[in-house]
Amino acid sequence: MKNFLRYTVAPLFLMISTPLFAFLFWYTATKLDGSIDALIHLFSRRGILEGLYLIISPVFFGSQFAWSVIIAFAFFEILLMKIIPGKTYHGPTTALGNTPVYKENGLACFVITITLFIGGATFIPTFNPALFYVHMGEFIGAMNLFSLFFCAFLYLKGRYFPSSTDSGISNNLIFDFYWGTELYPRIFGIDLKQWTNCRFGMMGWPLIILSFLYYQNQTYGLHLSMIVSVGLQLLYVTKFFVWEKGYMRSIDIMHDRAGYYICWGCLVWLPVIYTSPALFIVNLPETLNYFTAFIVFVLGGAAILGNFWCDYQRMVLREEYQKTKKLLSVGYIEAISKEGEDCGNKYPLITTGLWGISRNFRYVLELLGAFLWTLPAGFFLPLPWFYFVFLTILLVDRANRNDFRCHRRYKEDWVLYCKQVPYKIIPWIY
């Protein structure tokens, strides 16, 4: 019964509820002034089924415009992945001996994409940069359908035409569709997880929040609260693409297969939920003056840069250790892998600097950054804070999963490391 709930009921519930939530979240933010009470009142008057139909049916299939933009953007980012030069680098070798190969050109693709969007908004009179706000419901409908068909394609590809031996099924159709049937699917040399996670989801994030900014400027005039929130998010996304090589070696990529969980999440959930603080700020009154805007931006920028430094330092030190087999600038424990293809290999677990404060102190900084780019929304409504709450749950779960995997992998070396760095996330608390 426990396995049935975990591997069938829970995935099915999430695959039904998350698309509904995305539509309801957008509708509440844009049509009901962000009021949960107004949404409850709508359902009490119309009934749940009629209410859902009223909200979702006009945008369920998207629109010709939304589909055109999505297809053009998808192929444009694929084109950039192929033609923009970059160094070749490798992800971690899997337990079955497969090593993914990537091209390091994410930052260049990001700069080109943002430059073209802002350039179009500035110099092309017929281009409306507020398109993602104006047509957001249509984009959610189109992306939801596209993502479901894409996940079905990934299921069939991983089952019958896998790109590597890191594939297979559990004979549970619901779980396999949710979790995926392949770890590193590729088509025509394109790594599909890199495309969905980085070049569509993360690349779309800055375009969407810039669209919100342009809409507010066109409708009400630009607020300091919007400038600060969008500015911090742009800094965070820029940091991501500078560090993309490190992300492609993270737990999201190393262990999570390409299924509904990660692909629908990056194609639909990320564009709707991660951008939501700016979505609410569009119609909210100004909350900042020049002094508070400066303070919030400086603190948020420091948190984001600190988060970047944690991730970048670990990436650089791991590369240094692979070349020299020692580290002179930091304290560390030499951990030996006890399982998998790399059994017997040694890895450094850093015990000083920011990594000595807690095992995942970068999550504290990431949450602080998210808190500060949400803060300009104020406390008028609870929904703008949903992303921050969701991110907190996500990162705590990720820290626990990482602890479990590392303990299984390094065994007594991980126990020793945990004695030297005893806190998972927040020093002296957790």
The predicted pLDDT at position 340 comes to 65
Distance (Å, whole) CA 203 – CA 196: 9
Q: Could you report the per-residue pLDDT of 342-380, keeping only the tens digit for each?
A: 677 788 888 988 899 999 999 999 999 999 999 999 999
What is the model's pLDDT at position 345?
A: 77
Q: What is the reported pLDDT for 96?
A: 87
pLDDT of residue 259: 96
Q: What percent of the chain has pLDDT over 70?
A: 99
pLDDT band at 255 (very low <50, low <70, confident <90, very high): confident
Position 208 confidence tier, pLDDT thresholds 50, 70, 90: very high
Q: Tell me the pLDDT tens digit for each residue of 152-193.
A: 999 999 999 999 999 999 999 999 999 999 999 999 999 999
Contact status, residue 274 vs residue 206, Cβ threshold 8 Å: no
**236: pLDDT strictly greater than 70:** yes
Whole-model pTM? 0.94
Q: How confident is the model at residue 216, as a pLDDT?
A: 98
What is the mean predicted confidence (pLDDT) over 297-313? 95
pLDDT of residue 328: 73
- Mean residue pLDDT of the chain comes to 94
Of 343 and 276, the one with more pLDDT: 276
Instruction: Write down the pLDDT at residue 251.
Output: 75
**The pLDDT of residue 89 is above 70:** yes
CA angle 371, 374, 376 (to 5 degrees): 120
Determine the average pLDDT of the residues in 310-332: 84
Q: What's the pLDDT band for 147 if we cut at 50, 70, 90?
A: very high
| pLDDT over 90 (residue 250) | no
Average pLDDT over residues 75-98: 93
The DSSP-derived string for 325-376 is S--SSS-EEEEE--SSTTTT-EEEEE-STHHHH-TTHHHHHHHHHHHHHHGG
pLDDT over 60 at 341, yes or no: no
What pLDDT does 342 receive?
A: 63
**Nearest residue to 351 via CA among 423, 425, 420:** 420
The mean pLDDT value for 61-67 works out to 98
Could you tell me which of 84, 314, 90 has the C-alpha nearest to residue 191? 90
Mean pLDDT of 44-72: 97
- Band (pLDDT 50/70/90 cuts) for residue 228 is very high
Confidence of residue 301 (pLDDT cuts 50, 70, 90): very high
The pLDDT of residue 248 is 92
Helix (H, G, I), strand (E, B) or coil at 104: strand
Q: Is 89 helix (H, G, I), strand (E, B) or coil?
A: strand
Q: Which residues contact 7 (CB under 8 A, 6 or more apart)?
A: 170, 172, 174, 175
| Cβ-contact 226, 218 below 8 angstroms | no
